[in-house]
Structure 1
Amino acid sequence: MKKTLAALAATLAMSAAFAQSSAPAAASAPGATVATAASAPAATHREARVEDRINELHSALKITPQQEDQWSKFADIMRENAHTMGELYRQRVAQRNTMSALDDMKQYQQITQANAEGTKRLVDAFEPLYASLSPEQKKLADTNFREGGREHGHRRHRAPRAAAPEGASVTKP
């Protein structure tokens, strides 16, 4: 079960990060207003992708009415994590032309920490849901998370660099 939860956490963390990965790069001109204006449609698109993934998982796992309360808690954390990561990436894009190397590293640390905390929250919410699943549902969950939703275009186990907006370096020495 620990192996399954670890795979789940990694997959969901990357799903949430992938859901937030399309934050647009701001235009070359400095100023947060350009990044903020450009990110509004992208934010709506990201929210839709998160909802699509939540609906996809709900259907794939065949969540029953008795499991809805635990499912809702889990889905809400997916949404919260996606929102948090989106905000952090928007800040990164808006500030990228004015950040010092130290600021860049600090912001990278903040993103990494938020991702780790979000993953822990996902695992904590998923554990009681997983325990409530029937053996058939557990097999569906195990398969779905092992495969990482590849059949639906989701990336599996991507490095943070792939989840960052274009032009926002998150690779550190």
Structure 2
Amino acid sequence: MSTSKTVQQLQAEWITPENFRRYGQVIFASKDGKAYDTKDAQLNLQNGIPRFYIVRLQRQGRKFYKITRHMQCTQCLGSLSGKDWLIAVCPPDNNVDEPALEEIAVFRIPGNCFIKLEVGTWHAGPYFEHEFVDFYNLELSDTNVVDHFTHDFVKSHQLEFEMV
């Protein structure tokens, strides 16, 4: 007996510091010489060697069924060349191993800022309409080896999401 999956559409909204607060921070440019404060990325990178790198991603459409989180560090992402992009997120709840379906949100991020994901924030993406986008990424050097927890909604709920 085969089971078919359902596709649930998620409406993307433009990111703001206020609407993204549950998931992390939005960081925009500041004037040179500004003193460090809470508008700067509040990083948690003490559990290993920080890794700052640029990764080139190819367009993958706007559907996803897997969502990931990192429990040992924050993660910062931003696009180069001013290209906008999308990310799906679900707030961290470090007491459960599955993201809350009703709390998944999608944000459109302009190319003039970056995001910092809180420790444990579930995320899927980046997604975009460009052929490719170069992203800078700040995490730990072994994040994708020892701190990469993924939930598969097709396996758990026969569910796939589409960002609109």
Q: TM-score, normalised by structure 1?
A: 0.25
Larger Rg: 1
Question: How does the TM-score come out when normalised to structure 2?
Answer: 0.26
Q: Which has the higher helix share?
A: 1
